[in-house]
């Protein structure tokens, strides 16, 4: 899997699942398998945390709709996919009153 460009974390979780399945079926795995970069996260390597100063700048120039989206993404822990697709045709709806639409 390493030769195919898979990340170390992916290889580690696949090994863990395989060992669990084998153990469930009564097969004991004694040999240790070495994997490099199990705790490495290459997809997050270039990401940087959002600072308070950056949030203030974003809130200052955003519309109320975008401010609400920023608050949901940064404060509640929802993922982008919860809010909808790139066209805005589906996703989270805030209800409780007639006429409440999607983001």
- Convert the pLDDT of each residue in 6-47 to its tens digit: 777 777 788 889 888 988 888 888 888 777 777 767 777 777
* Cα 87 to Cα 30: distance, rounded to the nearest angstrom: 51
- The pLDDT assigned to 62 comes to 93
Rg (C-alpha) for the chain, rounded Å, is: 22
In 3-state terms, the chain is what percent helix, strand and coil (to 5)?
Answer: 50, 0, 50
Task: Say which DSSP state 53 is in.
Answer: H
Residue 48 CA, distance from chain mean position: 14
């Amino acid at each position: 899997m390493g030769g195919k460009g898979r990340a170390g974390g992916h290889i580690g979780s696949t090994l863990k699942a395989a060992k669990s399945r084998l153990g469930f079926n009564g097969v004991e795995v004694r040999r240790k398998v070495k994997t490099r970069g199990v705790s490495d996260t290459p997809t997050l390597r270039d990401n940087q945390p959002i600072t308070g100063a950056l949030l203030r700048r974003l809130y200052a120039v955003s519309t109320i709709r975008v401010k609400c989206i920023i608050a949901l993404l940064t404060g509640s822990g929802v993922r982008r996919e919860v809010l909808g697709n790139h066209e805005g045709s589906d996703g989270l709806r805030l209800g409780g009153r007639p006429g409440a639409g999607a983001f």
